Amino acid sequence: MRQEVSPRAVLAARRQFFQQGLHDRPLAALLPEPILRSWKRCAERGLDNAALPRLEPLTAHELSAIAERHERLRRLCRPEVESLYADAMQTGCVVILTDAEGMILDALGNADFAARAAQVALRPGVLWGESSTGTNAVGTALVEGRPIAVHGGEHYYDPHAILSCSAAPILDPYGHTVGALDMSGPAAVDHRHALGLVRLAVEQIEHRFFDEGFSDRRVLRLQADRALLGTSREGVLVFEDDRLVAANRAGLGLVGADWSALGARRAGELLEQLPGSDGDTHALRQPGGRTLFGRFEGARPRPQPAPRPRAPREEGPLLAAEERAALGRAVRMVAADVPVLIRGETGTGKEMAAREIHRQSARAGGPFVAVNCAAIPETLIESELFGYEDGAFTGARRQGRRGLLREADGGILFLDEIGDMPLALQSRLLRVLQEREVAPLGGGRPVKIDVALLCATHRDLRLLVEAGSFRQDLYFRIAHYTVELPPLRRLPDRAGIVRALWGRLVADERLTLSEACEARLAAYDWPGNFRQLAGTLKALAALADPFRPVGEDMLPPDILAAPAASPPIGTLDALTVEAMRQAVEACGGNVSQAARRLGVNRSTLYRRLFHA
């Protein structure tokens, strides 16, 4: 809840901050924390609150180029912008949609106020980022990464004191900020509800992001209140290969996670109980006796190919020559009935490599059964693997279960995260490997099986053996031949990998990466390896526009923060655009200054940057 601040307190705060240069303690009592933080940032940038903010509105042509570039965002936000517009007409406000930099794309609302707002340049084509326009709801919400209201004199620049604004950043399903929604009105009028309305609208917009582009993944809809399931208040979690790859804030909140869980956490780690795949709503018991309601939207067939699909996509992992040779040897091991261990950090493609070995082996016609030993609760893993007889234990299905070991008969059993297998089960597995037969729980007759074993781990099994948590005899049994998958950061030709993966993941060949962006991606050290790279490329593709290569500005901050590689040797044209970008960055976003430094005129700079 925002602390209520009287105009008198704000005036006192302004006097202390701007006239007496007091930037700290006494002010905290007069102003909300985020406003004070923002004032300090602006003062540090050398913005002069008493001057007029420096404005560089876009020309009509530049504006239409940038609006076109954000066509998808504008389309997705349209229903909310229109419904807020109805409200704004009555309350004397305007509704504003900006891009992630704070550039106003649309401003709709009450004509009287719109005319006054235009006097302080609250109109399309003007940048309301905090670094150029001082403390304001749009710019400060984008910097702080959360909804914020800025009333009257809380604005940094004196002329903006006529405004009262409420804004919230819009995040896409990958946690990237793609824009901001704002409602602004005259400071003299009480707009207490505006922030709530904006917040709600952004929730609806962010929920709509899941309507497109996820049909080939498992989408879980969740709510603590069953009646809210199916509404924009529901949480959404998207899984690919059982791993969380996209979400909305409500979904992350319900499972106590944050954006860092994307690409890192599995369904079983986030929820104690998961709904079945029948599409029905299930009550899910969670730790502490809490109940959530959830349903899986089953994976639907892939949508129709994009307008101009590329040539048929390659299957299987992208591999350096050394790993390709190692996989070839692994195929021979499988033929000779020797188990293979695949080692590598998370996301290096261990499961993909296992599937490739299966595809190349003589067992390709048989099943490939993957079991993640870390994801199945310890109490279930035994029955999952070995199966059980009719009525073997309370709650068992009446007709018993064959178990995954028998399901893999004639093919390959892939035990992922084998280092997480409980000790007692390691002994049973060892017996199966020695005797080549499996006895279901409940004392059934042992059944002969013909299964080739592939195991994978990100751990050092020898250390686990030393620590006593992994059986030495099992280790020797499964680790005769080990394939080491190196982390992405150690692979040669990372730019080539980035390009190849983009080519595979992005069907629409009009979408391309700029050379500078590609170089940044190649220079980053990718702690989540291929999985993280693939996730980032998909996110970039979702934000990309046809005919304009994806620029560095669209990269997530952690990638931008990493030291860049030596500049790519590219075409003269690409280098020119890159130099322009760097100049604008060096001038703190001031395009005129950058243009002067480069010796070109401002409109050239805009044209080249927006059409690059």
Compute how many residues bind ligand ATP; rule: CB under 6 A. 18
531 near ligand ATP (CB under 6 A):
yes
Rounded Cα–Cα distance for residues 165 and 195 (Å): 8
Q: Which amino acid makes up residue 172?
A: D
160 near ligand ATP (CB under 6 A):
no
Measured from the CB atom, is 102 or 344 closer to ligand ATP? 344
Angle at 524 between CA 521 and CA 529, to 5 degrees: 90
Rounded Cα–Cα distance for residues 406 and 375 (Å): 20
CB-CB contact of 195 with 187 (8 Å):
no
Among the residue ranges 74-82, 105-113, 156-164, 526-534, the one whose residues contact ligand ATP (CB under 6 A): 526-534
Among positions 352-411, residues that touch ligand ATP (CB under 6 A) are 352
Angle at 507 between CA 502 and CA 509, to 5 degrees: 80
Q: Nearest distance from residue 167's CB to ligand ATP, in Å?
A: 36
Measured from the CB atom, is 242 or 553 closer to ligand ATP? 242
Q: Which of 350, 401, 406, 581 binds ligand ATP (CB under 6 A)?
A: 350
Neighbours of 297 (CB within 10 A): 17
Among the residue ranges 286-294, 311-319, 390-398, 538-546, the one whose residues contact ligand ATP (CB under 6 A): 311-319
The 482-521 site mask, x for binding ligand ATP (CB under 6 A), equals: -------------------x--------------------
Q: Which amino acid makes up residue 196?
A: G
Q: Nearest distance from residue 526's CB to ligand ATP, in Å?
A: 11
Q: Which of 16, 204, 346, 482 binds ligand ATP (CB under 6 A)?
A: 346
Rounded Cα–Cα distance for residues 117 and 124 (Å): 11
Rounded Cα–Cα distance for residues 415 and 374 (Å): 10
CA distances from 120 to 53, 160, 162 (A): 9, 7, 9
Q: How many helices (H) and strands (E) does the chain have?
A: 25, 17
221 near ligand ATP (CB under 6 A):
no
Q: Which of 91, 133, 248, 348 binds ligand ATP (CB under 6 A)?
A: 348
Neighbours of 583 (CB within 10 A): 19
CA distances from 465 to 272, 445, 450, 469, 484 (A): 29, 32, 28, 6, 19
Among positions 239-268, residues that touch ligand ATP (CB under 6 A) are 241
Among positions 314-333, residues that touch ligand ATP (CB under 6 A) are 317-319
530 near ligand ATP (CB under 6 A):
yes
Residue with tokens 């992922």: 416
The 267-306 site mask, x for binding ligand ATP (CB under 6 A), equals: ----------------------------------------
Measured from the CB atom, is 253 or 496 closer to ligand ATP? 496
Which residues make up the interface to ligand ATP (CB under 6 A)? 241, 317-319, 344, 346-352, 416, 458, 501, 530-531, 534
